[in-house]
Structure 1
Amino acid sequence: MISRRHFLGTVLTSGAAFLGLCGYAVGYEPRYRLNVTRYDLALPRWPADAKPLTMALVADIHACDPWMPLWRIEEIVAATNALNADIVLLLGDYVSSMRRVPTRILPPEEWSPPLGKLRAPLGVHAILGNHDYWREEGPQGVRDALIRQGITFYENTARRIDALGHRFWLSGTGSMVALKDRHGGVDDLPGTLAQITDDLPVIHMAHEPDLFPDIPDRVALTLSGHTHGGQIVLPFIGAIETGSDYGNRFRYGHIVEDGRHLIVSGGLGCSHLPIRFGSPPEIVHVTVRPAGPVTA
């Protein structure tokens, strides 16, 4: 038989472990952990004579006090700059959605100056995420704040990058769920890709990875955020929620389907609740290079 002392000890130990896990998921992982996740990709669509390209990806900041304060954003910016990537790409969701917990939503004029300190030889480029469109004030303030910081903004836009020996197209679409109440988006993938006028490789930014099934083979690499890697990923159970209509298919990481490549960042902040567990905040560092030997 189990003694009363043994039973109470088990209960207290289990309770302490539970409280410890809760403290970690609320107080430590979302606010203090910061991983750098690296991918080195040999892409079929990267020309054999093209230079390798390094990219730093920053996704899903969700700026708010005390869960994503200015000091944390400045820490993220410093860590991103330390990667010395050729180009920095911001994948959307700068604003917070945690209105049901005690928090102060940081306005664009507060969180954008730290992002203006990001540096890369090929510049800093950005799209918006669904929460940026869902602001009560609308997305224009977010767009304007990014542009004022010298960040190049994309919304169903494609631009050719031709500098420092790198030659490729960078494109970005609007959010697929930007129209929250009307359950629609502002993405225009065909119109975006129609702006590409030659056969140079294409890197495409799409906040939601659910666009990936529509991405043609013409695109060398698609980059997304939005899912937070699941945000809460439990042992033996998996992610509680992915924010994707495809469930775990595009939840996180490097995904290859029919020869097409997608990277989904786990992002940095929190959505709805200030909890991350099993999906630590991350900056993503990607190197892309030709699939075959580089010609001289």
Structure 2
Amino acid sequence: MSRRRFLKTLGLSGAGMVGLSSYGLAVEPMWRLEVTRYRVTPPNWPRDLRLSIGVIADVHAGGPAMPAERIRGIVERTNALAPDVIVLLGDFAASHKFKTRAVPPEVWAEELGGLSAPLGVHAILGNHDWWDDRAAQRARKGPVIGRRMLEREGVPVYENDVVRLSHHGRPFWLAGLGDQIAFFERRRKGVGRHSFEGVHDLDGTLAKVTDDAPVILLAHEPDIFPRVPPRVSLTLSGHTHGGQVRMFGYSPMVPSRYGNRYAYGHIVEDNRHLVVSGGLGCSILPVRIGVPPEIVMVDVAAA
């Protein structure tokens, strides 16, 4: 290869990298908003119950791509989709160093309070909602400020608790799991690893289900899924952001002990169904490539 051709190739490669970086930093996380639809047919779902679920995950308010105005637009878009019920899967807070515009809990909660669905809006918390509340971290207990602000707006927040709903006369349960890595302790420099402790109680949560109506489990982190029994018709999770960088169905970095196994999308194992949202905001790095912010719509029906 001649020197001129080598320099030209190098220049084109550099321009491509700059373009990709600009897209990942500014275009995809800030300007794109997809609606991703799944049709789920659990084996134990009643034939006369059809349910549409709007799923919002990982808002990370105050991050580079998530000012209050952006949250308001997401709320309006979700309401326009007219789901039967809306679930919020946690990580409302952006507890990382890339906050560009402060969006206090009372502000993002007020924006999310504008969500509306016939069967209501129901929420769980994520790890960042716990990590962002220093008082809760010190006390090793909640309620965290994000929960208090959501409940002030009329949005119930479930922590190892359930609610029985009815759609066209057919009952079903929403079960909200406590966060699995709520408490975070940094390792001492050069010694050991970071440690996490959860507030989740899967068995205790499901024990509150008192009849044979189908159950939908809300769990911020999908890592609980191997323990979820067949009694649960559908598990909905967020947390992973699809890896934030995803190419050809693969993400090089996924915040899960299972790697890409539960990184994104509709997963079926042993006739058990899991849907993992790619979420809306960013954490750790303010970049998204190949996994744009999304509102998820899940239509549940009998096979």
**Coarse TM-score class (shorter-chain normalised):** over 0.9
Aligned length: 287
Distance in 1 of aligned mates of 2:102 and 2:177: 25
Residue 203 (structure 1) aligned to one of 216, 230, 234: 216
Q: 1:64 is aligned with what amino acid?
A: G
By how many angstroms is 1:242 displaced? 0.9
Q: 1:127 is aligned with what amino acid?
A: I
| Residue 17 of structure 1 pairs with residue 16 of structure 2 | yes
Q: 1:70 is aligned with what amino acid?
A: A
Q: What are the equivalent positions in structure 2 for 1:270-285 lying under 5 Å apart?
A: 270-285=282-297
Residue 51 (structure 1) aligned to one of 46, 49, 52: 49
Q: Which 10-residue stretch deviates more, 161-170 or 106-115?
A: 161-170
By how many angstroms is 1:122 displaced? 0.2
Residue number in structure 1 paired with 2:188 = none
| Residue 133 of structure 1 pairs with residue 130 of structure 2 | yes
Distance in 2 of aligned mates of 1:110 and 1:158: 27
Q: 2:112 is aligned with what amino acid?
A: L
Query: Which structure 2 segments of 5+ residues have no match?
Result: 137-142, 186-194
Cα pair 2:40 2:273 within 8 Å, conserved: no
By how many angstroms is 1:19 displaced? 0.6
Distance in 1 of aligned mates of 2:45 and 2:168: 17
Residue number in structure 2 paired with 1:193 = 206
Distance in 2 of aligned mates of 1:19 and 1:35: 24
The change in CA–CA distance for 1:142 and 1:102 in structure 2 (over 3 A counts) is closer
Cα pair 1:98 1:274 within 8 Å, conserved: no
By how many angstroms is 1:235 displaced? 5.3
TM-score (norm 1): 0.93
Q: Which 10-residue stretch deviates more, 198-207 or 160-169?
A: 160-169
Residue 172 (structure 1) aligned to one of 164, 173, 176: 176
By how many angstroms is 1:165 displaced? 2.8
Distance in 1 of aligned mates of 2:17 and 2:76: 34
Distance in 2 of aligned mates of 1:102 and 1:192: 34
Q: 2:204 is aligned with what amino acid?
A: G
RMSD: 1.5
Cα pair 2:63 2:282 within 8 Å, conserved: no
Residue 155 (structure 1) aligned to one of 140, 155, 159: 159
Residue 270 (structure 2) aligned to one of 254, 258, 263: 258
Residue number in structure 2 paired with 1:91 = 89
Distance in 1 of aligned mates of 2:248 and 2:162: 41
By how many angstroms is 1:47 displaced? 1.4
| Residue 110 of structure 1 pairs with residue 116 of structure 2 | no
Q: What are the equivalent positions in structure 2 for 1:206-285 lying under 5 Å apart?
A: 206-234=219-247, 238-285=250-297
Q: 2:237 is aligned with what amino acid?
A: S
Q: 2:215 is aligned with what amino acid?
A: V
Cα pair 2:67 2:101 within 8 Å, conserved: no
Residue 61 (structure 1) aligned to one of 43, 51, 59: 59
Residue number in structure 1 paired with 2:190 = none
Identity of aligned residues (%): 54
Distance in 2 of aligned mates of 1:163 and 1:47: 12
Q: 2:265 is aligned with what amino acid?
A: G
Distance in 2 of aligned mates of 1:117 and 1:166: 27
By how many angstroms is 1:148 displaced? 1.0
